[in-house]
Amino acid sequence: MELDRFDVGLPDPQEHEPEEYSACSGCGGTIYCGDDNILDIYGMAVHDTYNCIYKAVEAKKTVTIKDGD
């Protein structure tokens, strides 16, 4: 299989590697300088996604019990 022609003329995505800023306190993923979807929660850097926030603050689901009728 010859794939060489696909290697020519495409920009290298690793060429301008962004600078690491921190790690997400939710998912543990890397946060890079310039990310604009990062929240500061109690001093933690967290991706602005439900799952990351949920894990970062160690939220627990609450079960509400309805009064019987």
Complex with Zn ion: residue 27 or 44, whichever CB lies closer: 27
What is the maximum span of the chain, computed from C-alpha positions, in angstroms? Answer: 72
Q: Which residues contact Zn ion by CB under 5 A?
A: 24, 26-27, 29, 47, 52
Complex with Zn ion: residue 9 or 39, whichever CB lies closer: 39
Note whether 30 and 20 are within 8 A (CB).
yes
Complex with Zn ion: residue 4 or 50, whichever CB lies closer: 50
Note whether 35 and 45 are within 8 A (CB).
no
Minimum distance of Zn ion from residue 62's CB (angstroms): 23
